[in-house]
Amino acid sequence: MNILHTSLDILLPLVAILFFFLFYPFYLLIKLVIFLYKQFLSENVAGKVVLITGASSGIGEHVAYEYAKKGAYLALVARREDRLEIVAETSRQLGSDDVIIIPGDVAKVEDCKKFIDETIRHFGKLDHPINNAGVVQTVVFEDYNHIQDANLIMDINFWGSTYITYFAIPHLRKTKGKVIVITSGAANIALPVASVYSASKAALLRFFETLRIELNPDIKITIVFPGVVATDMTTPRYIENYGSDFIFTEPVSRCAKGIFNGICRGETYIEEPSWMKWIYVMKNMCPEIVEYVLHDLYFRYLKPSFERD
């Protein structure tokens, strides 16, 4: 066994370098051709049944509007029933012929089962479950008063999406459907003062990448990485300190349109705004440099503001 590992230690770096120089350019060319091909394709979602969690505001609300404009049927899920009623009525006015609301909490497994059961009971099928519900918590990890307070973040951000997907899979196999999960740029880039939030989004990324392998080709999975978007969630202290017009904040309607277009093109990953993918490339190629920049930003801007509170 020692000989095997020693041989791999020597051979695999050589193979990887050879692959990078000889085959990677062809891989990029193929990716470019596929990208250009997808620009001329768009899934027709008219009559498709779409379940959206966290649909009472933010990205979920505006993605619902994009689907409604194309004639999809909607099942809107969130805890705030009064807000869901408003979103549902707007969706009907935009072009959705059938919209239902299902109030509930994605952190409760029995509610997640109810979301799927009521959707199937009403529409008879499910095509696109969009796992969007999530919360942000900004706190320096060592400053937790009770470490178990972190459980709620994982319950909503991670388990909520996995519960719903679990109950949706049998129905998605029938429709050859697609699972969409809204993660975050924090799944790929460490976000100071949001360690548990970042962990919950990274857990979503790895879980759904694994699930994609298990469910392919019956069910497709699209993983979305939004940046800083102008929603109710972008009001934690580290953003409040610099105002709601933070330079990199993207309007939620623009973000939702980009997500919807990516879903219809059949993208496996959607970075919105798209320039974020180049930050991920830099992080993978030069992780120490990105970490140094984040460390400097944290100690220069974020840490002092938290210490004042």
184: nearest Cα among 133, 247, 235 = 133
Whether residue 129 contacts residue 172, with contact meaning beta carbons closer than 8 Å, is answered with: yes
Whether residue 101 contacts residue 85, with contact meaning beta carbons closer than 8 Å, is answered with: yes
Kindly state the helix (H) or strand (E) to which residue 100 belongs, with its residue range: strand 99-103
How many CB atoms neighbour CB 69 within 10 A?
Answer: 15
228: left (phi over 0), alpha (psi -120 to 50) or beta: beta
Burial code (b: 16+ CB inside 10 Å, e: under 16) for 143-168 equals: eeeeeeebeebbbbbbbbbbbbbebb
27 is catalytic: no
- Bridge partners (DSSP) listed for residue 99: 74
224: nearest Cα among 191, 264, 176 = 264
Place of tokens 């973040």: 153
Q: Collapsing DSSP states into helix, strand and coil, what is residue 135?
A: coil
What number of CA atoms fall less than 13 Å from residue 254's CA on the CB side? 11
Given the residues 197, 242, 280, 301, the one annotated as active site: 197
Q: How far apart are CA 246 and CA 240, in angstroms?
A: 9
Beta strands in the chain (DSSP E): 49-53, 73-78, 99-103, 128-131, 178-182, 220-226, 269-272
Pairing of strands 269-272, 49-53: unpaired
Catalytic residues: 197
